[in-house]
Chain A
Amino acid sequence: MLKKLIVFLLIGTLGYTLAVTFSSIPIGANRIGSLDNPETVAAYYLDKSPNDLKVANTITAVVVNFRGFDTLGEVSVLFLAATGLASILYRKEEEEEEEENKRHISHRLNLPSSSLVQTGAKILFPLILLLGIYVFIHGHLTPGGGFQGGAIIATGFLLMLVSYKGFKNNHKIMVWLESLAGLGFVGVGLYGLIRYGSFLQNTGWTGNLNDLVSGGLIPLIYIFVGIKVATELTNVLDILLNIKSRRK
């Protein structure tokens, strides 16, 4: 009880301090400043994104180009999380097989799935896949992009994994896609480094604002990011769904 009191006091104080602090940072105030002579990064980005990069979605421009290195890091975080997850939940293959033989039951998580669900999933899956691909291909034009598209695709795989007992990802293709997407991202970056002397630098050719093919290498990077995110997330789900959890 005492602990509860202390915790309440603590979080109360913390909340109060946060409230006091943020109350002097009003929402809606324009902190960007003038775009013509940018003082803040935001103004600079809003100025350069449509004019130099010809990318309509400024956020995409920021995520992929201005702060593309962050995104590279972020993709690696996801990759490392998948790797870490695999290493934590890894089981030696023999052990797995042995158990499989002994028990003859697959213990993968089975959410209740009727044939209705299965049929629905079958129909939805390509649509979701398509939606995801659309989202990341249009990342530089409309809201959305690699992460969103990748996550949507992963949701599609999740649907299939959950509704079909026997559904197995084609691991080989997944591994290839995963690696190649990552290498592609880095490769585009290296192209910038070699060609222009700056890692991830965009090409000089950028097209017109709001064209599908515009923004130089930005859509290409976002496609790689999309594939990478999709495969990593699917990987994570696949590992988690395949846990043979029950102890003997």
Chain B
Amino acid sequence: MMEFQALFEQYRDLITIAVYGTAIALIVIGLYAVLMKKHLVKIVIGLSIMDAGIHLLFVAIGYISGGTAPIFSPGNENAGARMVDPVPQALVLTAIVIGFAVTALALSLVIRLYKHHHTANIDQLNSLKW
């Protein structure tokens, strides 16, 4: 991983663009799926892709040039100053688990809906309106 740190120093802008671009692209793609796709499963896929993009954004922001993973493994006990930000990682950890919970619940609702309305098209699920 030292290799990456060196690389990052060298191509900081490029890597920034690549990582941010990927994260924002994921958010946007997920959003597109949620807004345009008619199939419920696709919508849930969109939500989870959107979440993934946000998680990537979190981790990317926590990265510090030249930092190592925030683990004081043997031989690395006093490297606190050279470590990446642990807080966003901890938050993402929480967010991933919560995201999974939401996805699971969403899918169970999809299954229920399918049993109840016999359709997986969101446009046909409008018995409640106005």
Given known pairs A22-B20, A81-B101, A81-B102, the reply for A28 and B63 (CB within 8 Å) is: yes
Instruction: Digitize A83-102: 1 where CB-to-B-CB distance is under 8 Å, 0 elsewhere.
Output: 01100110000000000000
In contact, B20 and A19 (Cβ under 8 angstroms): yes
The residues of B that contact A14 with a CB separation of less than 8 Å are: 27-28, 31
Determine whether A124 belongs to the interface, using a CB cutoff of 8 Å to chain B. no
Selected from A4, A56, A70, A89, the residue in CB contact (under 8 A) with B111 is A89
Least CB distance from B88 to A in Å reads: 8
Query: Is A179 in the interface zone, CB < 8 Å from B?
Result: no
Q: Pick from A40-48, A159-167, A188-196 the stretch touching chain B.
A: A40-48
Residue numbers in A under 8 Å from B57 (CB-CB): 22
B72→A247 contact, CB < 8 A: no
Q: How large is the interface on B (under 10, 10 to 19, 20 to 34, 35 or more residues)?
A: 35 or more
Residues of A within 8 A of B73 (CB): 56, 141-142, 210
B65 located at the interface, meaning its Cβ lies under 8 Å from any Cβ of chain A in the complex:
yes
Query: When A27-B15, A29-B65 are in contact, do A88 and B77 touch as well, CB less than 8 Å?
Result: no
Scoring A residues 2 to 33 as 1 if CB is less than 8 Å from chain B, else 0, what string do you get?
01100110111011001100110111111110
Q: Is A50 an interface residue (CB 8 A)?
A: yes
Which chain A residues border B96 with CB–CB below 8 Å? 147
Chain A: interface secondary structure? Answer: helix
CB-defined contacts of B25 to chain A, threshold 8 Å:
15
- A209 and B94 contact, CB distance less than 8 A: no
**Is B115 a contact of A88 with CB atoms below 8 Å?**
no
A49 at the interface (CB under 8 A from B): yes
Q: Closest B-chain residue to A236, C-beta based?
A: B104
Q: By the criterion CB–CB under 8 Å, are A35 and B81 in contact? A: yes
Q: Which residue of A lies closest to B66 (CB)?
A: A28
How close is A87's CB to chain B, nearest CB, in angstroms? 9
State whether the Cβ of A229 lies closer than 8 Å to any Cβ in chain B.
Answer: yes
Query: In the complex, what distance in Å separates the CA atom of A190 from the CA atom of B25?
Result: 44
* A245-B98 in contact given A56-B73, A88-B109 (Cβ < 8 Å): no
Within 8 A of A (CB), among B103-127: 104-105, 107-109, 111-112, 115, 118
- Is B6 interfacial (CB-CB < 8 Å)? no
Which chain B residue has the least Cβ–Cβ distance from A74?
B94
Contact digits for A143-170, partner B, Cβ 8 Å, 1 yes 0 no? 1000100000000000000000000000
- The answer to whether A88 and B71 touch across the interface, beta carbons within 8 angstroms, is no
Check A7/B35 contact, CB under 8 A, given A42-B85, A63-B90.
Answer: yes
Let me know if A78 is at the binding interface, CB within 8 A.
yes
**Separation of A132 and B12 alpha carbons in the complex (Å):** 37
Known A15-B28, A210-B73, A243-B111; judge A59-B86 contact (CB<8 A): yes
Q: Across chains A and B, which 8 residue pairs bring their CB atoms closest together, nearest first?
A: A28-B65, A81-B101, A58-B70, A62-B90, A58-B86, A15-B28, A56-B72, A46-B80
Binding site for A on B (CB under 8 A): 8, 12, 15-16, 19-21, 24-25, 27-28, 31-32, 35-36, 57, 60-61, 63-66, 69-74, 77, 80-81, 83, 85-87, 89-90, 93-94, 96-98, 100-102, 104-105, 107-109, 111-112, 115, 118
* A-B residue pairs in contact (CB < 8 Å), sample of 20: A7-B36, A8-B32, A11-B28, A11-B31, A18-B24, A27-B19, A27-B60, A28-B66, A56-B73, A58-B72, A58-B86, A62-B90, A63-B93, A74-B98, A84-B105, A84-B108, A85-B108, A88-B112, A245-B111, A245-B115
